[in-house]
Amino acid sequence: MTDRPLSGKIALVTGSNSGIGLGIARSLAARGAAVALNSFTDRKEDHDLAASLAAETGSDVRYIPADMSDGADCRRYVEKAAEAFGGVDILVNNAGIQHVSPIPDFPVAMWDRIIAINLNSAFHTTAIALPMMRAKGWGRIVNIASAHGLTASPFKSAYVAAKHGIVGLTKVTALEAAGQHITCNAICPGYVLTPLVEAQIPATMKEYGKDRETVIRDVMLARQPSKEFATVEQIGGTVAFLCSEDAAQVTGTTISVDGGWTAL
């Protein structure tokens, strides 16, 4: 087996200039895939990041901006990436945001934005990528859900709804692609210490009236029996497994990377 088993494959990773998405992009590029790095920001740093990932991994990594809160832009991202690289083999729907608030106070615009970025974007990208994968006779779609795609927590109504939704979308996509050498699965991480998690610590401290260390130990990792955050490298490695031939019959399911959270 080659140490670059994804050579020749083209991977699109939404929301990949930071956190888990960047970890996934790095994992796929290190295994030889060409990667379309994405965010909505379109700054010089984003293009520089793609160049440095290309230099680090020896793979073709390019930054393609698109706003995953906008359905038409999601669709354009897949079209532009396919045009730039010559098709799509792997689609990782990772872009996501969070907001923590009780339901009566939950800002309506924030509800809509979370559903748009965390759920609707995956529908739009999949709608464009699936026919391209069918044309090639091979494909892998990996949706980054969450332990919150399988369980709930208070104050995270939009996020939990979107993540349960993406688990459902994963199953439907897998059924529609079955028998075509195209799989679709969801990864359900527990807490991974990324900018998204870092940003919700102050709001959670406020909701629970506790200090940072107590919130991390007793609230965030309360349901993660390992008492350790998962890492972006572990999520990247799980995506790489799902892209391998060993995983050809793994489809329509969820893989938890949550330190035992959903076993409780």
Binding stretches for ligand NAD (CB under 6 A): 15-21, 39-40, 67-69, 94-97, 117-118, 144, 146, 189, 191-192, 194-197
Q: Which is nearer to ligand NAD, 21 or 32 (CB)?
A: 21
CB-based burial of residue 182 (10 Å sphere; 0-12 exposed, 13-18 middle, 19+ buried)? buried
Residue 201: which H helix or E strand, with range?
Answer: helix 195-208
Q: For residue 21, what are its two tokens?
A: 């998405």
Q: What does residue 221 show for φ and ψ, rounded to 5 degrees?
A: -90, 10
Q: Give me the catalytic one of 63, 77, 159, 191.
A: 159
Q: Which is nearer to ligand NAD, 112 or 246 (CB)?
A: 112
How many whole angstroms separate alpha carbon 223 and alpha carbon 6? Answer: 35
* Least distance to ligand NAD, CB of residue 11, Å: 15
* Least distance to ligand NAD, CB of residue 143, Å: 9
Q: Which is nearer to ligand NAD, 5 or 225 (CB)?
A: 225
* Least distance to ligand NAD, CB of residue 55, Å: 20
Q: What count of other Cβ atoms lies within 10 Å of the Cβ of residue 175?
A: 12
* Least distance to ligand NAD, CB of residue 261, Å: 10
Q: For residue 176, what are its two tokens?
A: 């529609």
Please indicate whether residue 159 is annotated as part of the active site: yes
Q: Which is nearer to ligand NAD, 60 or 73 (CB)?
A: 73
How many whole angstroms separate alpha carbon 112 and alpha carbon 215? Answer: 27
Active site residues: 159
